[in-house]
Structure 1
Amino acid sequence: MDLAITYNDRELTFAPAVENVDLATESGLRSAVLVSLFTDRRAADDDPLPSSALDLRGWWADAWPEMEGDLVGSRLWLLSREKQTAAVLHRAREYSEEALAWLIEDHVATAVAVSAEWIRTGVLRLQVAITLADQTRFKDVFNYQLQAA
């Protein structure tokens, strides 16, 4: 059971879901996928940082992972100052699949696929398809706004 997170696709904002004046929970994958895609993963030592970035970011608890090498989040934030090219779409797909790879490693899913497309200036659409261990499928679409700071 996870804390349910609401995602406003138009405003590109997140908030905890509330049900009867209490925090709502969910047993599906949506909140886990939201955290995986929209939390900033620490950049690799050889990643080119956006010109506005002063650090490698990342979640503080990644310094003490339960399993060696586990990292939370995605490196989508590294695309914040990139031009809207096919190469950047390719990296967005790679970063998204990397962020969701834990689902396969933890035997929650057998396959993860992400496609990326530009839907307007500065906004990526990520179409996520996950085949779960029981062969059911999770599909959802998320928009990601690149911050040109």
Structure 2
Amino acid sequence: MTLLNDDACESAWRRAAVISLLTWRRAEVDDRLDDSHRYGWWGDSFPTLANDRIGSRLWQLRRRTLTADTERDAVAFAREALAWMVEDGRVTTVSVTTTRGVDWLNMVVVLSMKDGTAIDLKLDNLWQVINAV
């Protein structure tokens, strides 16, 4: 068995976090939508584990005004998308913080690993990514 070196391991966790944050999770039944599309990854229709889903609902913010409430929802959606890492015992904690301006939103995710190290992931101008649709 070949073990990944630290750089490859960190790269894999960064990639997993980006996929979890920027893949569109299907909208929940009670989500307020501005059209009839619930979107989401087709694979979530056939989960191996009940209610196992990939991605985040950050896409739902794309037509909203960037306010404190929108920023709060972005943090909640990001935490929801990354919760599997803690639930599966892969990391000990996930921290999500944001800063915003009039037309920009930055997000910093910190994954606290079991060995005591931390992986920081910075998503600069996440608002532009969300609204690029």
TM-score bin, normalised by smaller chain = 0.7 to 0.9
CA distance in 1, matches of 2:102, 2:21: 19
Tell me the residue number matched to 1:37: 21
Tell me the residue number matched to 2:31: 47
Give TM-score, length-normalised by structure 2.
Answer: 0.83
The alignment partner of 2:72 has SS state of helix
Would you say the 8 A contact 2:66–2:102 is kept in 1? no
CA distance in 2, matches of 1:100, 1:31: 12
**Counterpart AA for 2:65:** K
Superimposed CA distance per residue, residues 5-31 of structure 1 (whole angstroms, 9 cap, x where no aligned partner): xxxxxxxxxxxxxxxxxxxxx432111
Tell me the residue number matched to 1:72: 54
1:1-149 matches, cutoff 5 A: 26-28=8-10, 29-49=13-33, 51=34, 53-119=35-101, 121=103, 123-143=104-124, 144=126, 145=128, 146-147=130-131
Bigger strand share: 1
Q: How many residues align?
A: 121
Which consecutive unaligned segments of at least 5 residues does structure 1 have? 1-25
CA distance in 2, matches of 1:147, 1:129: 24
CA distance in 1, matches of 2:65, 2:94: 26
Would you say the 8 A contact 1:81–1:148 is kept in 2? no
Give the CA RMSD over aligned residues. Answer: 1.7
Tell me the residue number matched to 1:20: none
CA distance in 1, matches of 2:79, 2:114: 17
CA distance in 2, matches of 1:148, 1:30: 22
Deviating 4+ runs (over 3 angstroms) = none
Percent of aligned pairs with the same amino acid: 36
CA distance in 1, matches of 2:82, 2:14: 12
